[in-house]
Amino acid sequence: MTKEEKKAAKAQRRAERKEKGKGLWAEFKEFINKGNAFMLAVGVVIGGAFSAIVNSVVNILLSVATWGVPGGLKGLVTVLPAAPGNLAQQGPVGQSFSSSQLVQKTIDFAATQEVTITKDSDTFVQWQTALLGKYTLHGTTYTFNGAATIDWGAVLTAIISFLIIAVVLFIIVKLVNAASAKKAQMEEEALERYYLKHPEERPAPEDPAKPKPTTEELLASILVELKKANGEEAPEPEEIVAPETEAAEE
């Protein structure tokens, strides 16, 4: 192969790669610009925003409904007992305590480190900060971070949010289905009016007594159409006989 032929082959390969890249980019743009992909993206964004609104409304409603519960909605927490021998779930001053016991629990926490303090001590705030770093406030109750808890407020919020979103989506689907059915009915009525004005274009009804074409006949018809598309002389489908049929006739 001469140098000119090598250069020509290299240029041809480069042109083919460039053309392939253009084809992939065009295919990607076509996929992105399709209505279904665009509407799916819009639906995801709207669904996320709607879910946030529903969660906020549910939180407000449940907060009002649990007004009499100490700590409100966030106070609906159950602390599970620590497993036997599992010190990691017990906490330095217990699994949980109320906010009214914070001062005494701070003093007790310092005592576990063999340090005696009072609420007027200079280091009281430091010990209290260290204690609160190990506990989380749920309503009016501090719960040890290592303890197993059940947040009933979060469970109720998730269940009610799911039910509201499910009902809204069901209504939307019903409306869309009704609109689609109405559109299909209007199209059928318009087509029927067209056929009344142009009866010669109405397709002939299928004869139920007429046998359906076999698989061999369908394949023969496809072969004929392919040969016609390639400009070849194609026999009629009736002239094409499957090998099994010829063998049976012999």
What's the Rg (C-alpha) of the chain? Answer: 38
DSSP per-residue codes, 61-76: HHHHHTTTSTTGGGG-
The owner of tokens 């299909």 is: 184
Sign for the pseudo-dihedral over CA of 149, 152, 154, 155: positive
pLDDT at 47 over 60: yes
Percent above pLDDT 90 for the chain: 14
Q: Give me the pLDDT at residue 44, please.
A: 81
* 149 phi, psi to nearest 5 deg: -130, 160
pLDDT given for residue 22 in this prediction: 63
Question: Smallest Cα–Cα separation from 61: which of 77, 50, 76, 73?
Answer: 73
Determine the pLDDT at residue 127: 93
Three-state DSSP at 137 gives: strand
User: Among the listed ranges 84-88, 123-127, 162-166, 195-199, which one has the minimum average pLDDT value?
Assistant: 84-88
Residue 245 has pLDDT above 50, yes or no: no
Please, what is the average pLDDT of the chain?
79
Statement: residue 61 has pLDDT above 60: yes
* Residue 85, both tokens: 């021998």
pLDDT in tens, 73-112: 777 788 888 777 777 778 889 888 988 899 999 999 999 9
pLDDT in tens, 207-241: 677 777 788 888 888 888 887 777 776 555 555 55
Per the DSSP assignment, residues forming a β-bridge with 19 are none
**Would you state the pLDDT for residue 12?**
75
pLDDT of residue 247: 46
Q: Which of 146, 137, 152 lies closest to 99 in space, CA to CA? A: 137
Which DSSP string corresponds to 154-200?
HHHHHHHHHHHHHHHHHHHHHHHHHHHHHHHHHHHHHHHHHHHH-GG
Q: What is the pLDDT averaged over residues 36-46?
A: 73
- The candidate with the shortest Cα–Cα distance to 225, out of 234, 215, 217, 216, is 234
> Which pLDDT score is estimated for 102?
92
Label residue 20 by pLDDT band (50, 70, 90). Answer: low
Residues 6+ apart with CB under 8 A from 51: 161, 165
For the chain, give every domain's residue range. 10-65, 81-147, 215-245
